[in-house]
Amino acid sequence: MKKNDWKDRLNIVYSTNPDFRYDDGTEEEEETIEKSRQKLRVAIEKKGRGGKTVTVVSGFIGKEDDLKELGKMLKAKCGVGGSVKDGEILIQGEFKQRVVDLLKSEGYSQTR
């Protein structure tokens, strides 16, 4: 498909500026860096969650699909639910040490 498709700009006002570049708002995802260079942080949170304890993994740099895959693996290994939102993995319950051990065994050596 052509990169300059007119259907993507259907309701855009015309510009007479010769240097105008249309930005459709999509950002290119950052490539996932290797596991040993990821600096992941694991923390326990209760605030804003109705008193429920959640283990939060943050600091992942890379594609959203890779983050979701990592979250799915952690949820399965811990045997609990959770989600991936805003670049963070949320694991239901207090599993900080278990998550750190799982991440280190997967090759994420700079995990705290």
Cα(43)–Cα(29) distance, rounded to whole angstroms? 25
Is the pLDDT at 94 greater than 80? The verdict is: yes
Q: Which residues contact 90 (CB under 8 A, 6 or more apart)?
A: 54, 55, 56, 82, 83, 84
CATH 3.30.780.10 fits 29-106, yes or no: yes
Q: Can you give the pLDDT at residue 77?
A: 95
What is the secondary structure of 50-75 as a DSSP string? TT--EEEEE---S-HHHHHHHHHHHH
Q: Can you give the pLDDT at residue 107?
A: 92
The band of 3, judged by pLDDT with boundaries at 50, 70 and 90, is: low
Q: Which residue has the higher pLDDT, 88 or 13?
A: 88
Q: Can you give the pLDDT at residue 105?
A: 94
> Are the beta carbons of 55 and 33 closer than 8 angstroms?
no
Cα(36)–Cα(54) distance, rounded to whole angstroms? 25
